[in-house]
Structure formats: C-alpha cells, structure tokens
Amino acid sequence: MSTPSIRLAVVDDHILFRKGLRALISGFPGMEVLFEAGDGQELLERLDQGTIPDVILMDLQMPVLDGLQTVRLLRAQYPQVRSIIISMHDEPELIDSLRAEGAHGYLLKNASPEEVLGAIQHVIDTRPGSGASKPILTASF
C-alpha cells in the first residue's frame, strides 16, 4: 500500500530554476509536482481549472502577478492550499509581511535540498486539523 502523495506546484518566472526545483521535488518520496507556472496569474488559471495542489512553491518576484499579490489571492480563494515563498531576499520586514498576508513558509533560493523537503513537510504538518500548533519560519513559518 503506497503512502498518499503530497501534490505540489512550482511557480517561478525563471524556467531553469523552475525545472530544477521540479526535478528536486520529484526525487522526494511521496511528493508529486502536478504542474509548473511562470507567474501568479498562470497559477491561478490552473487552480481555476480544478488542478489544486497541497503546496505551492512560489517565487516572490515575478511579472504579471508577483508572489505577495498571489499569496493574498490564494488566502481568499484557495485557503486550503499551503504556500511557500522562495526568494533571494531575507529581510525580516519582508518575511513578516509575507506571513501577515498568508504565506505559510519562506525559503531562500540558496536553501539546501533538506531545507526544501523540511519546509514542505512542515507546512503539511501544520495544516489546520493536523494537531500541530503554529507555523515557524526558518525557512518555513
């Protein structure tokens, strides 16, 4: 009997980074990347079509609809979806504003594969009803 998969989406405007992150995640046991998107607008269009991941790994700075704007929309339209922002910026004020807007985690783009895996698992483990208390931030809130 197989364990249930954690379904993910990868959203970044840099194709090479997006493909690399997809390849990394696909190597984690029990995880499946459902789709990729180049910006928040493309992500929301995919969600509106009914493809709903458990976790979205999303770049902060993207054209059309950036990570912060997308997190706000996700919180309102798809509150069950967990979001992890990935960025090269590590200013505490930025991280606090992302948390306030509804992001569930934060990773720096130079995170190790173990940190990526840990952040994904953490946002899944801290879903409402999971029994875990509050999210943290390291790498994840």
At 137 the pLDDT is 47
The ranges assigned to domains in the chain are 6-127+134-138
pLDDT at 28 over 90: yes
Does CATH number 3.30.2450.30 belong to domain 6-127+134-138?
no
What is the 3-state composition of the chain as percent helix, strand, coil, each rounded to the nearest 5?
40, 20, 40
Asked if 1 and 46 touch (Cβ cutoff 8 Å), the reply is no
* Burial per residue of 75-94, b for 16 or more beta-carbon CB atoms within 10 angstroms, e otherwise: eeebeebbbbbbbeeeeeee
Mean pLDDT of 24-34: 96
**To the nearest whole percent, how much of the chain has pLDDT over 90?**
81
| Chain segment 45-102, per-residue pLDDT in tens | 999 999 999 999 999 999 999 999 999 999 999 999 999 999 999 888 999 999 999 9
Q: Where are the beta strands (DSSP E) in 64-123?
A: 82-87, 105-108
